[in-house]
Structure 1
């Protein structure tokens, strides 16, 4: 019997967020289906209460998206940076690996911390169901195994990761796994949408936890609706609403990426021993 401990890092700064609700639901589904021990789930309010989990107390960490500028320079960001280094260094030293999934705001913070490229403000807020394109490395990514190219995911961001430092990626052994849609008529660099930070650490700029119900709830926010119409036009907005629950779009993405990450972590956790490498 092997117990698994999951820490959910809430980056929403005391704001109600559909994405975090979805993360909890996916984690609770994993909890119900786990055979062989107990799964405990604990939430940490990183930004509002300055809470960070102790690395040794948990096996799996999922760090959410959230609003605002990833360059605020507040105390909690320093604690989160130490947390990132702690996970990375632990996994280099011990066989009992720690597994971390970083979403949107958390993904941006990690990319800034490890100096992987430019994370700057977009010209306009992006919100909608976007095609995400795999890179060559992404074609080999097991979390994307059952997804087409491109696959579809919910995008919700005011900031973006562009101009990756490929030398830095090579130095740290990290890989760009996905990029945003190529738009030749727009003179802007394609943003990085997913990074394999290590075998145990993965991150996405998009929201793999999103589901059609949550997307519809978010579109009740006038800011999100206006951003989607501005980016895609009214016709595309109406088409998206009509097809939002298609089984081959965000429902497929939600069913694959985070559940596969949790299953991968589980398989390694149940077979591990707590010894030095």
Structure 2
């Protein structure tokens, strides 16, 4: 008798706004399907921000996506209340320890919501938008974390955001047994605090500010579309546009991060849920 497949819930926070993130996540799940055995992952998408749907705790792994706009947009709205109740239910499930643990990865917008909910730091607007492929510096804890271990520091990541996490609440992070994994690029000429780019809050829950799903071929196709290219050049300048494309095409930049973070997250989730598959 065949074993049941590993179940993955994708919590889509894009609110049906056109995006590359969902495509890239689906492609990573397909590319790493062998981790779940011959039949691949069983994947279900929940459009939480659009229709309020949330998964239950029967899934082995959860990927909560990026999304447009303010991470405070859902404050007081039913969909956000459901999202936070789901988060509590997963924590409660893992705390009981009677079944296999559930693994959660929070990406960008979801990372900011995670920080808000757990009171891990301040979530505030950036002075200007971060837009491009940038270095992300690992902390000592990050360099030893299973998602980043062995990667050259700094890693490079797709970073498109108007918001940031600063002033981390170290006491709260310690209380949860967590650690800060990464900080944004060093800017010696800018007298501002560097934003937090990754936090692990438990063995099974981790969040990153950047987009680990971003794939060079897909991003190149997207940003070479004439309308998209014109918009980027108009808003950010031709030099920044050229530099971003060059980093997408260079395998020493984005590809390493794309090939490591989510595949490692999935491999760990499988190992925790179904060790016989490893």
TM-score over 0.5 (shorter chain): yes
- Establish whether residue 252 from structure 1 lines up as the match of residue 256 from structure 2: yes
- Establish whether residue 215 from structure 1 lines up as the match of residue 216 from structure 2: no
* Unaligned ranges ≥5, structure 2: none
- Establish whether residue 92 from structure 1 lines up as the match of residue 95 from structure 2: yes
> Where in structure 2 are the equivalents of 1:223-262 lying within 5 Å?
224-226=232-234, 228-229=236-237, 234-262=238-266
Q: Secondary structure at the match of 1:96?
A: coil
- Establish whether residue 199 from structure 1 lines up as the match of residue 203 from structure 2: yes
* Unaligned ranges ≥5, structure 1: 273-277
Structure 1 residue 267: Cα displacement? 1.3
- Establish whether residue 80 from structure 1 lines up as the match of residue 90 from structure 2: no
- Establish whether residue 60 from structure 1 lines up as the match of residue 61 from structure 2: yes
Structure 1 residue 165: Cα displacement? 0.8
Q: Aligned residue for 1:7?
A: 9
Structure 1 residue 33: Cα displacement? 5.2
State the TM-score, normalized to the length of structure 1: 0.90
Aligned pair count reads 267
> Where in structure 2 are the equivalents of 1:7-46 lying within 5 Å?
7-32=9-34, 34-35=36-37, 39-46=41-48
Q: Any idea what the Cα deviations from partners look like across 1:108-128, whole Å, max 9, x if unmatched?
A: 001000001100111222110
Are the structure 2 counterparts of residues 45 and 146 from structure 1 closer, same or farther at C-alpha, using a change threshold of 3 Å?
same
2:143–2:150 CA contact under 8 A, matched in 1:
no
Are the structure 2 counterparts of residues 36 and 71 from structure 1 closer, same or farther at C-alpha, using a change threshold of 3 Å?
same
Are the structure 2 counterparts of residues 62 and 227 from structure 1 closer, same or farther at C-alpha, using a change threshold of 3 Å?
farther
- Establish whether residue 132 from structure 1 lines up as the match of residue 153 from structure 2: no
Q: Aligned residue for 1:275?
A: none
- Alpha-carbon RMSD: 1.8
State the TM-score, normalized to the length of structure 2: 0.90
How far, CA to CA, are the matches of 1:66 and 1:228 in structure 2? 21
Q: Aligned residue for 1:177?
A: 181
Q: Secondary structure at the match of 2:104?
A: strand
Q: Any idea what the Cα deviations from partners look like across 1:174-201, whole Å, max 9, x if unmatched?
A: 1100000111211211000011111111
